[in-house]
Amino acid sequence: MSKEFLFTKTHEWVQFLDDTTARIGISDYAQSELGDLVFINLPEEGDEVIVGESFADVESVKAVSNVYSPVTGTVKSINKNLLDQPELVNMDAMDAWFVEVEGISDKGDLLSEEEYKKLIAE
Amino acid sequence: MKLIFEKGNINRRLDLMPECDVPVVDVDERYKRKKEIRLPNVSETEISRHYTKLSKRTFGVNNGFYPLGSCTMKYNPKINDEIAKLPGFSDVHPLQPEHTVQGCLEVYKLAEEYLCEITGMDAMDFQPAAGAHGEFTGLKLIRAYHRDRNDTKRDKIIVPDSAHGTNPASAAMAGFTVINLPSTEEGFVDVDALRKVVGEDTAGFMLTNPNTIGLFEEHILEITSIIHEAGGLNYYDGANLNAIMGIARPGDMGFDVVHLNLHKTFSTPHGGGGPGSGPVGCKMHLTQYLPTPRIAEKDGMLTFEEKNGKSIGRVKDFYGNFLVVVRALTYMMTLGSEGLKNASENAVLNANYMLHMLKDTFDIPFGKGRCMHEFVISLEKLKKEKSVSALDFAKSLLDYEIHPPTMYFPLIVHEALMVEPTETETKETLDEVIAIYKELYDKAYTDPDSMHNSPATTPVGRPDEVAAARNPILRFF
Amino acid sequence: MGTYVPNTTTEQQKMLNAIGLSTMDELFDVIPNDVKLNAPLDIPKGMSEMEVSYKMKKIAGKNKVYDTIFRGCGAYRHYIPAIVKQVTSKEEFITAYTPYQAEISQGILQSIFEYQTMICELTGMQVSNASVYDGSTAAAEAVIMSKDRKRNKALVSASVNPMTIETIRTYIAGTDIEMEIIPEKDGLTDIESLKKMLGDDTACVLIQQPNFYGLLEDGDTIGGIMANTDIKYIMSCNPISLGILKAPAEYGVDIAVGEGQPLGIGLSFGGPYLGFMATTDKLMRRLPGRIVGETRDSKGRRAFVLTLQAREQHIRREKASSNICSNQALCAMTAAVYLAAMGREGLAQAAKLSMSKAHYLAERLCEIDGYELVYKGEFFNEFVTTVNTDADRVLSVLSEHEILGGYPLKGQKHKGHLLWCATEVNTKEEIDTMIQILKDIK
């Protein structure tokens, strides 16, 4: 998969596999800010996700952060590896996708990689 | 150190009970346990030594300075414990006939009288077992009040962003939606923002005053009347009552319902996490919703009243953490009217003295050099310049055998350390601690690494919390 | 006036001066005058320690401490070994706060870890928390944690202690959880009714073992009905009975809860007691309250910490699994010391003695004309009988003889029924004496 990554201002990434299917994760910047993740709460397959609304949360030892969806659609599959190994996100955030969403009907304001880099540099 | 399961010998046992003096009855096979129970097999000597060793690895108020902000770790007077051990209190069955427990009921009645006067409330109920339990109960009263008036659309509780985590958690548990209210830059309730969020769906507002950064909300009457005018009720979180006993009362500030933490303000020990006691007080218009049973006086006798159609019901087994209330009553009787005020005055004095002596060294972002019973230091600058965090600072304090302040609370202050010395500390102790804080501040610039690696003298160093949470080991076997 | 303020007035003045103030009142000048008290609190003056001690002893003296108790109903007088009281009186344990600073709290943390292990051993479950307030709130928390997005109905047996049912009702009011009561038949959960009540929205089934009447429920059949479903099986149990009775895990239970008071904690007019909760690995992250875990420090030494904290209120705030903060830590330690002193055999002995004495008591009571067992099922150490005259009269005659008799059950169908209890502390002689007194009531 060589498709480009797009980003949200709330530090999620989204990678479209085709027009209506995409994978979602959190950015490398997000994982480094959060520190060592100890658990990831994922939705269930078949759940609806909505642009700008939280669909998962990530736990570090002393904090919980929501993960917001960049798109509206239905959860096709979840990355079950993350349930046992949350550290995969710390190791390679761009590889450690959270969910694959299908039937995408809407998407929020998404930033290119360049734009996102600018944002976090500020 | 070894666990108790790693000591002893399988054939070792204590001889505690006599032979059976009646025919022995065996359990029917259908109900008989097959699964082995692996309990310790140890001698009494081993138990005694094991726990003595554990006690040496535990830090209590009796060990040293314990300025845990918002927890009011004052000295726990020994007379309280001695009274609680009297068989007349400790060996009474909760379901004895009422005429045989008049002393227990009198304890509750007296404690109610004291606490109503201290808080300015009309009634006090002792069923809740802890502060959070009291919050839950108090919020249920608010819910019952609105429902009783057919005002069913009030489903929102407003909570400042500086509040204790239990406030929003209790509100959610009681079935409300939580509205988080941002604080002003000075750390107070944002009165204008509050005006904007109140409305027909406002059920109530939760506040502790002095607030969680140790400042008295000067506009308290305006705040509580905004809520009242919108049709909501005001909830007082008693976590910080130790600042104002005999000086001001939540009941006079416009609060309708309060909970108290007897294990904070009223000197009952915290037991390594509990038991506490979280009595709920309220104004007359809410008394009919208090949990059942209620203690009442009838023909000169104290009784438990079971029936009350409008009550929110029972919130636990039996009635309250009784022995904790016995301790708190003993304390209130000892101090009396003057003594309670004196305690608050000195709690505020001690905090202000520390703040004053530290403020030229440390960044104390709120309060302009003054506070009530506690104050908050921000180590944001140390973190930025020397990577010494509030956590590093706290852990370094452990090597001086003093307990660190509360860390990273309230959430609105970065790298927060919240200091609450309480009134039971001497000036000498405060002076020593002030010197240590300053010494550590300098060390952050001269030798930050030693602070990152602290503590060095405790039985264990910083535990790997990430490993603990990723791969939880929660039992021995 | 008693006081615990150590600073002398001279020292106080010195400190005020250091701050730049001259009087205590000035410390409070930020408080608006219209909320300031302008008179002293209207409560009695303070007293010396000796006076307070005298006064409180007098109040304690107004309570009756029974020589003999044949009443349980959720609070039990068991033998408390001397070592239990001594160990838990250590000042460090009593005066410590919640162990947030792990490095100087290894003692408390390890004791909780040991307690969690013991609760797992008793119940056969995999994960225990560090305690909740009491048995009823433990049951209510279990009901709340069993709810999921599709299932919101709790089925609670009518043979559960009424206080537990009332507490659950209060806890779930205003939430989207509903409760239905499973009827009882012959004092036991009516299994046929239960089967009919189960549905797609059933979140959990709660039974008590032994139940409120002391009877042993058919936990296996109930467990069988729920096996391979997503319905959570919650069992509230008496921890002493687990010395000889099946562990909740042996019935296929998902959440075991109960009142830990019998484990070395005094009657104390109802509190503080100890709510225990244990569950499966699968439900671990839904368990409320503090949990202690084992880990290592940087030098590889064994260390204990509060863990899985992201479930809790101080982090998750309104989304926390529960609002619980303070728990019953010292009571949990008490239970742990008790279980260490008793050991496996001691616990089994206490259970067996309690059961045997209760059966002897039942047998002797039933010798008396008009006394009969109301339910025929097997029981542990509590049972219900009829009486041959006014129950209040029976109880007051016993009370005159320093005996607390059985608990008069409430409700029309239980008119004249007493719920009796015996434990290892009740001797044959006590039982025989009481029987004679009862026989003599005309």
Q: What is the ipTM of this complex?
A: 0.97
Where in chain A are the domains?
6-107
Q: Is there a domain that residue B444 lies in?
A: yes
Is the pLDDT at C228 greater than 80? The verdict is: yes
- Reference C142, options C233, C81, C20, C66; nearest CA is C233
* Residue whose pair of structure tokens reads 């990430």 in the numeric block: B466
| Of the partner residues B3, B36, B82, the one whose CB lies closest to the CB of residue C110 | B3
Q: Is residue C329 located within the same domain as residue C350?
A: no
pLDDT at C269: 98
Residues of chain C found within 8 Å of residue A38, distances taken between Cβ atoms = 310
Distance (Å, rounded) from C-alpha C178 to C-alpha C201?
Answer: 10
B408 vs A: CB within 8 A: yes
Q: Is residue B347 located within the same domain as residue B236?
A: no
Separation in Å, CA B391 to CA A34, B376, B404, C167: 16, 14, 9, 40
Q: Distance from CA of residue B317 to its chain's centroid?
A: 21
Q: Is residue C93 located within the same domain as residue C179?
A: yes
pTM of the model: 0.96
Record the tokens describing residue C352, joined without a space.
């067996």
pLDDT tens figures, A53-73: 999 999 998 889 999 999 999
> At C428, phi and psi to the nearest 5?
-60, -40
Confirm if C359 and C398 have CB atoms less than 8 A apart. no
Domain of B153 in residue numbering reads as 79-334
Confirm if B119 and B259 have CB atoms less than 8 A apart. no
Query: Per the structure, how many domains does chain C have?
Result: 2
Q: Do B469 and A38 touch (CB under 8 A)?
A: yes
Helix (H) or strand (E) holding A116: helix A113-121
CA distance B319 to chain C (A): 6
The CATH number given to whatever domain includes residue B419 is 3.90.1150.10
Q: Is there a domain that residue B265 lies in?
A: yes
DSSP three-state, residue C346:
helix
- Reference B63, options C108, A114, C56; nearest CA is C108
Distance (Å, rounded) from C-alpha B212 to C-alpha B201?
Answer: 26
Distance (Å, rounded) from C-alpha C395 to C-alpha C427?
Answer: 19
Q: Is there a domain that residue C3 lies in?
A: no
Residues of chain B found within 8 Å of residue C28, distances taken between Cβ atoms = 216, 247-248, 348
Q: Is there a domain that residue B280 lies in?
A: yes
Residues of chain B found within 8 Å of residue C240, distances taken between Cβ atoms = none
Angle between helices C106-123 and C329-365 (to 10 degrees): 30
Q: What is the average pLDDT across B277-287?
A: 97
Share of chain C above pLDDT 90, in %: 95
Distance (Å, rounded) from C-alpha B67 to C-alpha B2?
Answer: 31
- Reference C213, options C410, C360, C438; nearest CA is C410
A34 vs B: CB within 8 A: no
Residues of chain B found within 8 Å of residue C359, distances taken between Cβ atoms = 22-23, 25
Q: Is there a domain that residue C36 lies in?
A: no
CA distance A14 to chain C (A): 26
Confirm if B117 and B335 have CB atoms less than 8 A apart. no
Residue in B with minimal Cα distance to C380: B27
Give C284-297 as a DSSP string.
GGG--S--EEEEEB
Domain boundary among C338, C366, C382: C338
Q: Is residue B140 located within the same domain as residue B249?
A: yes
Q: Tell me the Cα Rg of chain C.
A: 25
Is the pLDDT at B235 greater than 60? The verdict is: yes
A33 vs B: CB within 8 A: no
Is the pLDDT at C223 greater than 90? The verdict is: yes
Positive or negative CA dihedral for A32, A35, A39, A40? negative
In chain A, residues 7-66 whose CB comes closer than 8 Å to chain C:
38-39, 59-64
> At C304, phi and psi to the nearest 5?
-120, 145
Q: Is residue B371 located within the same domain as residue B325?
A: no
pLDDT tens figures, A12-28: 999 999 999 999 999 99
Q: Is residue B120 located within the same domain as residue B162?
A: yes
pLDDT tens figures, C137-170: 999 999 999 999 899 999 999 999 999 999 999 9
Query: Per the structure, how many domains does chain B have?
Result: 3
A90 vs B: CB within 8 A: no
Distance (Å, rounded) from C-alpha C373 to C-alpha B368?
Answer: 73
pLDDT at C311: 87
Q: Is residue B104 located within the same domain as residue B137?
A: yes
pLDDT tens figures, B2-31: 999 999 998 898 999 999 999 999 999 999
A36 vs B: CB within 8 A: yes
Q: Which amino acid is at B341?
A: K
Helix (H) or strand (E) holding C226: helix C219-226
Res. C316 pLDDT band, cuts 50 70 90: confident
Q: Is residue B43 located within the same domain as residue B114?
A: no
Helix (H) or strand (E) holding A13: strand A12-18
Distance (Å, rounded) from C-alpha C409 to C-alpha C419?
Answer: 7
Record the tokens describing residue B429, joined without a space.
């102790």
pLDDT at C143: 98
List, in order, residues 6 or more apart from B341 with CB less than 8 Å away: B245, B246, B247, C40, C41
pLDDT tens figures, C270-298: 999 999 999 999 999 999 999 999 999 99
Q: What is the average pLDDT across B233-240?
A: 97
Q: Is there a domain that residue C18 lies in?
A: no
Is the pLDDT at B62 greater than 90? The verdict is: yes
- Reference B320, options B105, B165, B138; nearest CA is B105
pLDDT at C263: 98
Q: Is residue C127 located within the same domain as residue C234?
A: yes
Q: Which amino acid is at C237?
A: C
CB atoms within 10 A of CB A29: 16
Q: How many CA atoms lie within 13 A of B205 on its CB side?
A: 29
Q: Do C35 and B71 touch (CB under 8 A)?
A: no
Confirm if A49 and A78 have CB atoms less than 8 A apart. no
Q: Is there a domain that residue B33 lies in?
A: yes
Q: Is there a domain that residue B391 lies in?
A: yes
Q: Is there a domain that residue B384 lies in?
A: yes
Q: What region, left, alpha or beta, does residue C416 occupy, with left being phi > 0 and alpha being psi -120 to 50 degrees?
A: left
| Cis preceding-peptide flag for B275 (omega within 30 of 0) | yes
pLDDT at B411: 84
Distance (Å, rounded) from C-alpha B231 to C-alpha B233?
Answer: 7
Q: Is there a domain that residue C329 lies in?
A: yes
Residue in A with minimal Cα distance to B409: A62
- The burial class, CB within 10 Å (0-12 / 13-18 / 19+), for B442 is exposed
* Residue whose pair of structure tokens reads 């809740």 in the numeric block: B128
B434 vs C: CB within 8 A: no
Q: What region, left, alpha or beta, does residue B210 occupy, with left being phi > 0 and alpha being psi -120 to 50 degrees?
A: beta
A6-107: what CATH class? mainly beta
Residues of chain A found within 8 Å of residue B408, distances taken between Cβ atoms = 62
Q: Is there a domain that residue C240 lies in?
A: yes
Q: Is residue C296 located within the same domain as residue C403?
A: no
Strand C403-404 relative to strand C68-69: parallel, antiparallel, unpaired?
parallel
CB atoms within 10 A of CB C150: 9
CB atoms within 10 A of CB B401: 14
Q: What is the average pLDDT across B377-404?
A: 96
Is the pLDDT at A1 greater than 50? The verdict is: no
Domain boundary among B282, B317, B334: B334
Res. C23 pLDDT band, cuts 50 70 90: very high
Q: Is there a domain that residue B180 lies in?
A: yes
Q: What is the mean pLDDT of chain B?
A: 96
Confirm if B154 and B200 have CB atoms less than 8 A apart. yes
Distance (Å, rounded) from C-alpha C212 to C-alpha B203?
Answer: 38
C309 vs A: CB within 8 A: yes
A86 vs B: CB within 8 A: yes
Distance (Å, rounded) from C-alpha C367 to C-alpha C403?
Answer: 19
B470 vs A: CB within 8 A: yes
CB atoms within 10 A of CB C245: 22
Record the tokens describing residue C102, joined without a space.
């792990």
Q: Is residue B371 located within the same domain as residue B388?
A: yes
pLDDT at B309: 81
Confirm if B211 and B160 have CB atoms less than 8 A apart. yes
Confirm if A5 and A84 have CB atoms less than 8 A apart. no
Is the pLDDT at C310 greater than 90? The verdict is: no
pLDDT tens figures, B330-372: 999 999 999 999 999 999 999 999 999 999 999 999 999 999 9
A/C interface, count of CB pairs below 8 Å? 17
Domain boundary among C282, C312, C338: C338
Q: Is residue B360 located within the same domain as residue B278?
A: no
CA distance C102 to chain A (A): 14
Distance (Å, rounded) from C-alpha B63 to C-alpha B60?
Answer: 5
Q: Is residue C357 located within the same domain as residue C320?
A: no
Q: Is residue C316 located within the same domain as residue C353?
A: no
| Cis preceding-peptide flag for B410 (omega within 30 of 0) | yes
Q: Is residue C73 located within the same domain as residue C86?
A: no
Q: Which chains touch C (3 or more CB pairs under 8 A)?
A: A, B
pLDDT at C45: 96
Distance (Å, rounded) from C-alpha B476 to C-alpha B467?
Answer: 16
CA distance B203 to chain A (A): 26
Domain boundary among C338, C367, C391: C338
Q: Distance from CA of residue C111 to its chain's centroid?
A: 19
B469 vs A: CB within 8 A: yes
Distance (Å, rounded) from C-alpha B173 to C-alpha B151?
Answer: 20
Give B442-472 as a DSSP string.
HHHHH-HHHHHT---SSSS--B-HHHHHHS-
State the best of B406, B409, B470, B473 to mutate against chain A, taking most chain A CBs within 10 Å: B470
The side-by-side arrangement of strands in the sheet containing A48-49 is A6-7, A12-18, A21-26, A99-107, A71-78, A48-49
Confirm if C204 and C215 have CB atoms less than 8 A apart. no
Q: Is residue C281 located within the same domain as residue C375?
A: no
Q: Is residue B264 located within the same domain as residue B380?
A: no
Q: Is residue B96 located within the same domain as residue B214?
A: yes
Distance (Å, rounded) from C-alpha C26 to C-alpha C36?
Answer: 13
Measured torsion, CA atoms of residues A32, A34, A38, A39, in degrees rounded to the nearest 10:
-110
Q: Is residue C292 located within the same domain as residue C432?
A: no
Kindly tell me the number of DSSP H helices and DSSP E strands found in chain C.
13, 16
Is the pLDDT at C1 greater than 90? The verdict is: no
Distance (Å, rounded) from C-alpha B355 to C-alpha B367?
Answer: 10
Q: Is there a domain that residue B367 lies in?
A: yes
Q: Is residue C309 located within the same domain as residue C363?
A: no
Give the CA diameter of chain B: 78
Q: Is there a domain that residue C221 lies in?
A: yes
Q: Is there a domain that residue C40 lies in?
A: no
Domain of C210 in residue numbering reads as 82-338
Record the tokens describing residue C433, joined without a space.
């004496």
Q: What is the mean pLDDT of chain C?
A: 96
B/C interface, count of CB pairs below 8 Å? 682
CA distance A5 to chain C (A): 30
Give C2-71 as a DSSP string.
-----S-HHHHHHHHHHHT-SSGGGGGTTS-GGGB--S--SSPBP--HHHHHHHHHHHHTTB---SEE--
Q: Is residue B307 located within the same domain as residue B392?
A: no
CA distance B464 to chain A (A): 10
Res. C215 pLDDT band, cuts 50 70 90: very high
Q: Is residue B229 located within the same domain as residue B117?
A: yes
The CATH number given to whatever domain includes residue C120 is 3.40.640.10
Res. A2 pLDDT band, cuts 50 70 90: low
pLDDT tens figures, C59-77: 999 999 999 999 999 999 9
Q: Distance from CA of residue C225 to its chain's centroid?
A: 28
